[in-house]
Amino acid sequence: MGEKEIKKLINIWEEFVDRQKNDKKVEKSRKFRLNPSKEKVEKLAEGVLFNEKKHGLKYCPCRLTTGDQEEDFKLICPCNFWDQKTWKQKGECWCSLFVKE
């Protein structure tokens, strides 16, 4: 993964964060931001891009694919982390890329 690819993915994530911040319909309890650790975000971007090269889709680097396409679609980053146990208990997505505001 090149630095340019990593930066491009991070920009996409930043835009994703900005869209929900500006969306008046998003409940306060669902508001999120990128993890403040730049190093962690870059490492996660590397992992997502690696998975894209290996599997053809941007799977979360912290979760294992099962081979069941329907189940694995749930692992594409960004996932629907609001419904996950880690979001409800710890205020972050599975890999800590997104954290509660």
Cα(86)–Cα(95) distance, integer angstroms: 9
Domain limits, the chain: 3-100
CATH number of 3-100: 3.90.460.10
- Tally of CA atoms within 13 A in the half-sphere of 89 that contains its CB: 4
The pTM is what?
0.88
| Tens digit of each residue's pLDDT, the chain (101 residues) | 799 999 999 999 999 999 998 888 888 878 899 999 999 999 999 999 999 999 999 999 988 899 898 999 889 998 888 888 888 899 999 899 999 98
Q: Give me the residue label for tokens 């730049």.
A: 38
